[in-house]
A and B are shown apart, each in its own frame.
Chain A
């Protein structure tokens, strides 16, 4: 799993590449925790490069959403690929997450 972060208009975009599963979940959690510790609670996960998410991946996303929202921030998703979208739909996560076609739209949603 490769994670690259960049700041745009006070929002932290995390570009993920690879699969989100039990193997990569600890790395993603650690990365997000470090961002939150730095006060970066307005997050966008760019999932254009993510081909797969498992149940462990869903738990990572939910944990980050709860933690950022508790600190007046959020984790918003962008660039969701079809297979990941299916899992989000099946689990009802699309009812609680904010999703966008691309990172620009997700960043703009914080304004």
Chain B
């Protein structure tokens, strides 16, 4: 057996689908695979933090039911109308949603938790709205980092962290394998979620949403190719498969999503274990 390989878990953006990480976490624990660090982006940061804090996978599923409820979109329809008739003035701090509900829910889960409190080193990827680059957060409040990484442009207001206005990490690095590479990981287990495409468009915002999905999926593909070629060891993609669309507030599908995450993880296990035991 060779030197102990450093294992990093990366959970990419993907909204409610990111709860599939609970299934992956279940498999890793069952197989006795110890994770050395965790990286999360957007929805993936929510579950990355829970894994880094050794939260039970069943609890992760229960928390998800309270987090992904439609009231986090409070004010969206009214703001959208107001933005069209000009009564809502938009600037770099704006979002269509009143984020107070989402912030309250996130605070209930993550409270005053700090990165330094976590059991496993954890990093969150967000994007600098003004400079455009990726920002890696690994100090201070876990809530602040997750809130920043979740800020889907236009929908949720950006979040100020240390004087930088941050938005969704998916805008720059939807599956941030590079963070793990930079930190010296050998084995990288990367759970990613290519976004679904629409087939019908009934509004301008639907087209905008589709464009965002196209952009993010293309960033995912091109960065994934580069990271694969750049890495010295192995990247194991864990890509759960879903028969149909899983919408943002499909809380009833949470058990299914976790199951699919578990299935995708089990498929990779023989290969991961083979390399660990090399």
**B221 x A92 contact (CB < 8 A):** yes
Closest to B233 in A: A22
For A52, what are the chain B residues with a Cβ–Cβ distance below 8 Å? 271
B89 within 8 A of A: no
A71 within 8 A of B: no
**A90 x B275 contact (CB < 8 A):** no
Which bracket fits the contact residues of B?
20 to 34
Of residues 144 through 202 on chain B, the ones whose CB sits less than 8 Å from some CB of chain A are: 192, 194
B94 within 8 A of A: no
A98 within 8 A of B: no
Given contacts A23-B275, A86-B239, A92-B222, contact A58 B228 (CB under 8 A): yes
For B275, what are the chain A residues with a Cβ–Cβ distance below 8 Å? 21-23
CB proximity of A92 to chain B, nearest CB, Å: 5
A3 within 8 A of B: no
Assembly CA distance A99 to B227 (angstroms): 23
Give the total number of A-B pairs whose CB atoms are below 8 A apart. Answer: 51
**B278 x A23 contact (CB < 8 A):** yes
Q: Is the interface of B mostly helix, strand, loop or mixed?
A: helix
Closest to B188 in A: A55
CB proximity of A68 to chain B, nearest CB, Å: 17
Given contacts A62-B229, A92-B224, A93-B225, contact A55 B271 (CB under 8 A): no
Assembly CA distance A83 to B238 (angstroms): 11
Q: Is the interface of A mostly helix, strand, loop or mixed?
A: helix
**B235 x A90 contact (CB < 8 A):** no
Assembly CA distance A87 to B102 (angstroms): 35
**B234 x A59 contact (CB < 8 A):** no
B interface with A by C-beta (< 8 Å): 192, 194, 220-222, 224-225, 227-229, 231, 233-237, 239, 267, 271, 274-275, 278
A interface with B by C-beta (< 8 Å): 19, 21-23, 52, 54-56, 58-59, 62, 83, 86-87, 90-93
Q: Could you name 9 residue pairs across A and B whose Cβ atoms are closer than 8 Å?
A: A52-B271, A54-B271, A55-B236, A56-B233, A58-B228, A90-B194, A90-B237, A91-B225, A92-B222
